[in-house]
């Protein structure tokens, strides 16, 4: 046998420069990356959580302790850690709150699994046990939930307010949580109970004043649009006005540059000049003749139109933003028109009162007492722009929670109480398993304790001491301690259900499911392949093409040399 004949041909499967890492070290590395992300947001959990100040290349500054907002703004490049970002955003979209909890839980599940992976346990066994534990935990949450169905309206509103206050506890606006919780409940109560469409709640921000100066408008409010001469002469308030919505421009346009008109008779010149004026006057006449007191348009209403409407005692506003226009349309019953021909009373909307009011340095147009659809607008006040933005994010969470609690009227005790009860339950269940899954379910149970532990750490209390008290309470045989959670005010434990620290069950279902899925996803990855940017179209179309071609060539050269020898 000739030298070289026994050599194995070298086969290069992936494109040159492709970076691959695999096996146990890769899995551990992914878990460590996720832990780094968790460490970033962990301190924002709970009523005593800290805020994060994030500023980007453009110099925009955001101060927030909302998990989803922070995860969105962190520029995470690690592919495995990105899944934690996704799980936080999905929690925000589905429930609106619990975005920090879900990231912390997913990280803790991975942290518990890391020890087993290092000792040689197969990730698939851990994934299987975690999924079983997650299912058991969700069934237990269902069992522990307290339904709000069948309560009187007033009582139900009081209970929803308590849910909103629990959410606002951990936010920047916690000092005014009672005031804002009431605003959230009132605004959601104004929506159509069938759809509870969030688009029907507008949030407008006006810098200046204090948080207490914020108020709720029973209807639609938007900032006064750009207006032309003659605007001040228009009436600024109406009772039961007729409202006309347009999607046409009511202003004179400059002629195109190369416009050319040839006339045989000089007397016709004036009629050509007047033609455009006649067209716009005709449109304005038709608007006024329709009986409308308020004319709103998505496009501009120029000087001529503004002055004309002022002379006729009609209020007008041009360049109204799309979402505001849609809300006015739904709330007042007015239909947006693309022509002023054939306007009949059926296309006009109405409301009980309209007024233009000064709010801080801005003027706002307010349509109140709308008969058609139920809508509300929250006008937020505050000292600085960042502060109002954070108040907006906080209110979004609280509104989502109230909305979810209305749809799925079940609550569980907050403050880590439900996690401690689930942990105790899963520890007991684990003993009924004889395989390795006993260890993995116990690890899942231990991971759930991270929520009360982090609440203690963020409040500056001794977590070990508080957790021991909680374990003792939850271990009571008569079940009297099942609602005990962390008391962030005294550093002890308290029956959080009686203290009205409530969370909708849906937050917990979603958090446990999403966190388990994210942890299982990361545990199931054992190799990362990183492709550099393809060079040329062919390389892009066939990433393995060049590498494999070279591999065959090298093998061929090796064999050829051997044969010649």
Q: 67, 63, 38, 42: which is closest to 52 by C-alpha?
A: 63
Q: Point out which residues pair with 424 in neighbouring strands.
A: none
Q: What is the DSSP letter of 363?
A: E
Joined tokens for residue 473: 């309470």
Q: Is 232 helix (H, G, I), strand (E, B) or coil?
A: helix
So what's the pLDDT on residue 208?
A: 83
Q: What are phi and psi of 141, to 5 degrees?
A: -60, -40
Question: What is the distance of C-alpha 471 from the center of its chain?
Answer: 34
The residues carrying an active-site annotation are 66, 99-100, 397
Contacts of 414 (CB under 8 A, 6+ apart): 166, 485, 496, 501, 502, 503
Tell me how far apart the alpha carbons of residues 390 and 64 are, in angstroms, rounded to a whole number. 6
CATH code of the region 19-147+413-523? 1.10.560.10
Question: What is the distance of C-alpha 559 from the center of its chain?
Answer: 62
Residues of the chain with CATH 3.50.7.10: 220-368
Tell me how far apart the alpha carbons of residues 140 and 565 are, in angstroms, rounded to a whole number. 76
Q: 288, 297, 354: which is closest to 324 by C-alpha?
A: 297
Tell me how far apart the alpha carbons of residues 55 and 191 are, in angstroms, rounded to a whole number. 36
Tell me how far apart the alpha carbons of residues 321 and 158 are, in angstroms, rounded to a whole number. 35
Q: Point out which residues pair with 412 in neighbouring strands.
A: 503
Contacts of 537 (CB under 8 A, 6+ apart): none
Q: Spell out, as residue ranges, where the chain has pLDDT lower than 50.
A: 1, 535-565
**Helix %, strand %, coil % for the chain, to 5?**
50, 15, 35
Alpha helical stretches, state H, 290-379? 303-311, 322-332
Q: What are phi and psi of 462, to 5 degrees?
A: -80, 105
Q: What are phi and psi of 321, to 5 degrees?
A: -65, 150
Tell me how far apart the alpha carbons of residues 108 and 35 are, in angstroms, rounded to a whole number. 8
Joined tokens for residue 405: 């609690």
Count the Cβ atoms, other than its own, within 10 Å of residue 193. 10
So what's the pLDDT on residue 258?
A: 66
Q: What is the DSSP letter of 211?
A: G
So what's the pLDDT on residue 2?
A: 52
Are 435 and 423 within 8 A, CB to CB?
no
Residue ranges of E strands in 387-536: 410-413, 484-487, 492-495, 502-504, 527-530
CATH code of the region 220-368? 3.50.7.10
Joined tokens for residue 545: 């093409």
Alpha helical stretches, state H, 190-319? 268-289, 303-311
So what's the pLDDT on residue 440?
A: 93
So what's the pLDDT on residue 11?
A: 65
So what's the pLDDT on residue 322?
A: 86
Contacts of 36 (CB under 8 A, 6+ apart): 81
So what's the pLDDT on residue 547?
A: 40
* HSE value, Cβ hemisphere, 13 Å, CA-based, for 104: 24
Tell me how far apart the alpha carbons of residues 21 and 162 are, in angstroms, rounded to a whole number. 50
Task: Say if strands 237-239 and 353-359 run parallel, antiparallel, or are unpaired.
Answer: antiparallel
Q: Quick one: CATH architecture of 153-217+378-408? A: 2-Layer Sandwich (3.30)
């Amino acid at each position: 046998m000739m030298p070289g004949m026994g050599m194995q041909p070298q086969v290069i499967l992936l494109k040159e420069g492709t970076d691959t890492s695999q096996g146990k070290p890769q899995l551990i590395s992914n878990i460590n990356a996720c832990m780094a992300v968790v460490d970033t947001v962990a301190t924002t959990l709970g009523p005593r959580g800290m805020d994060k100040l994030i500023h980007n290349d453009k110099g925009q500054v955001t101060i927030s302790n909302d998990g989803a907002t922070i995860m969105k703004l962190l520029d995470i490049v690690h592919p495995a850690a990105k899944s934690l970002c996704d799980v936080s955003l999905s929690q925000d979209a589905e429930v609106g709150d619990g975005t920090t909890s879900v990231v912390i839980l997913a990280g803790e599940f991975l942290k518990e699994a890391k020890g087993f992976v290092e000792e040689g346990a197969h990730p698939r066994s851990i994934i299987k046990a975690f999924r079983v534990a997650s299912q058991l935990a969700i069934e237990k949450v269902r069992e522990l939930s307290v339904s709000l169905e069948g309560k009187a309206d007033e009582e139900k509103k009081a209970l929803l307010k308590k849910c909103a206050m629990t959410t606002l506890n951990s936010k920047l606006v916690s000092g005014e949580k009672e005031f804002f919780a009431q605003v959230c409940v009132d605004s959601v109560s104004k929506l159509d109970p069938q759809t509870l469409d969030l688009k029907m709640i507008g949030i407008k921000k006006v810098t200046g004043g204090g948080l207490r100066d914020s108020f709720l408008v029973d209807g639609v409010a938007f900032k006064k649009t750009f207006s032309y001469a003659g605007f001040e002469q228009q009436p600024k308030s109406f009772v039961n006005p007729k409202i006309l919505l347009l999607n046409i421009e009511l202003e004179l346009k400059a002629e195109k540059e190369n416009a050319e008109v040839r006339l045989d008779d000089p007397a016709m010149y004036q009629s050509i000049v007047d033609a455009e004026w006649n067209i716009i006057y005709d449109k304005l006449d038709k608007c006024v003749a329709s009986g409308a007191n308020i004319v709103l348009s998505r496009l501009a209403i120029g000087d001529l139109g503004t002055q004309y409407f002022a002379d006729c005692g009609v209020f007008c506003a041009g360049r109204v933003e799309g979402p505001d226009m849609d809300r006015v349309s739904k709330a007042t019953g007015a239909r947006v028109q693309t022509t002023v021909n054939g306007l009949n009373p059926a296309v006009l909307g109405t409301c009980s009162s309209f007024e233009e009011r000064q709010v801080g340095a801005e003027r706002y147009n307010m349509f109140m007492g709308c008969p058609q659809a139920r809508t509300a607008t929250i006008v937020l006040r505050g000292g600085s722009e960042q502060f109002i933005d954070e108040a907006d994010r906080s209110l979004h969470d609280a509104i989502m929670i109230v909305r979810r609690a209305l749809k799925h009227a079940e609550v569980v005790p907050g403050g880590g109480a439900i996690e401690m009860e689930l942990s105790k339950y899963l520890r007991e269940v684990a003993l009924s398993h004889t395989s390795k899954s006993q260890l993995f379910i116990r690890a899942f149970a231990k991971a759930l304790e991270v929520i009360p532990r982090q609440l203690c750490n963020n409040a500056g209390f001794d977590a070990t001491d508080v957790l021991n008290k909680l374990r003792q309470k939850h271990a009571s045989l008569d079940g009297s301690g099942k609602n005990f959670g962390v008391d962030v005010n005294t550093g002890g434990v308290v029956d959080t259900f009686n203290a009205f620290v409530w969370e909708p069950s849906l937050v917990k279902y979603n958090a446990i499911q999403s966190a388990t899925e994210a942890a299982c996803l990361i545990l199931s990855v054992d190799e990362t392949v990183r492709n550099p940017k393809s060079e040329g179209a062919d390389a892009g179309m066939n990433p393995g093409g060049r590498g494999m071609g070279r591999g065959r060539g090298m093998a061929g050269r090796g064999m050829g040399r051997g044969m010649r020898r």
